[in-house]
Amino acid sequence: MRSPYNREVEALAQLDFGRFFERATLQQFASYVTLKSYTRRSVVYQAGEERNAVYGLINGHVKLAREDAVGNRVLLDILPAGSLFGEDALFASGQRERTAIAHDTVSAVRIGKAEFLKMMAEAPRLNEYVFRTVGERLIHAEDRISDLSLDGIAVRLAKVLLDLIRRYGTAQEAQKVLINLRIPHRELADLVGSTRESVTMHLNDLRRREIVEFSNRRILILNYPSLVAQAQSQLRRTDPQDDETDDE
């Protein structure tokens, strides 16, 4: 007999933590799942909403952002398919501090907070996955804060590009790497911690040096070793070039 939750089981199986479980276990979890779809730029959840659910990203990409009192957004991260997000609901009560937005067409699962906690209690490997994910994201956030304090824009941009390569890079001919994600310069600037004008200037410098190229609104890495060398260079925020670009 076909399970009434077959679509939910298939959706769970596509999440990063889905590979930890046999299909029978996923079928037990499936009744907790609500399938959701979002169009590009639509809000998955808003800062100020109650922390009452956790989400798993099946297809597409989700942006996490912070907003000020008048609605201005600063991009914090872009998550790939398979990711868990909204996990702050598991460790804190009250209202969310971040907004999650569909970067493109998104399919996701929504699982209520109480139900997800039941899943964690029933499946120790899920418990381990959640804590590892939270820990990795905290380390990533700490690294970005350190980079903002110590590194100049050129170094920060190179580090962000390398992180995007790790998550979204696809190998091309002649040892080139395509960052298979369309990201506007304004959002890339948020990740770098600078202005759009400064990041555009530094991207154009990388293109002039034949380290990157732009292809169909995506970034193509032409010289990966040179990008790594720039990320490891000792250009600090005290460099005159960075002082000038930070003022733009």
Question: Taking a C-beta distance cutoff of 8 angstroms, is the pair 228, 162 a contact?
Answer: yes
93 plus 162 within the same structural domain: no
Q: What is the pLDDT of residues 32-43, one digit of tens each?
A: 999 999 999 999
Q: What is the pLDDT of residues 72-123, one digit of tens each?
A: 789 999 999 999 999 999 999 899 999 999 999 999 999 999 999 999 998 8
Domain extent at residue 46 = 6-139
Q: What is the pLDDT of residues 44-79, one digit of tens each?
A: 999 999 999 999 999 999 999 998 877 778 999 999
Q: Residue 11 domain-assigned?
A: yes
Among 67-71, 123-127, 194-198, 209-213, which stretch is predicted with the lowest mean pLDDT? 67-71
Q: Residue 121 domain-assigned?
A: yes
Q: Residue 213 domain-assigned?
A: yes
**Alpha-carbon Rg for the chain in angstroms:** 20
Number of domains in the chain: 2
Among residues 7, 8, 57, which one has the least CA distance to residue 32? 8
Question: Of the residues 89, 110, 139, which one is the last residue of a structural domain?
Answer: 139
184 plus 236 within the same structural domain: yes
Tell me, what CATH number does 173's domain have? 1.10.10.10
Mean pLDDT of the chain: 90
Q: Residue 1 domain-assigned?
A: no
- In angstroms, the CA 220 to CA 230 distance is 16
107 plus 181 within the same structural domain: no
How many CA atoms are closer than 13 Å to the CA of 175, on its beta-carbon side?
Answer: 5
Question: Taking a C-beta distance cutoff of 8 angstroms, is the pair 126, 87 a contact?
Answer: no
Percent of the chain having pLDDT more than 70?
Answer: 92
Q: Residue 216 domain-assigned?
A: yes
105 plus 160 within the same structural domain: no
132 plus 170 within the same structural domain: no
Q: Residue 146 domain-assigned?
A: no
121 plus 184 within the same structural domain: no
Q: Where are the beta strands (DSSP E) in the chain?
A: 33-38, 43-45, 53-59, 62-67, 73-79, 84-85, 99-102, 106-112, 169-171, 177-179, 212-215, 218-221
133 plus 156 within the same structural domain: no
26 plus 115 within the same structural domain: yes
Tell me, what CATH number does 96's domain have? 2.60.120.10
Question: Of the residues 105, 139, 173, which one is the last residue of a structural domain?
Answer: 139
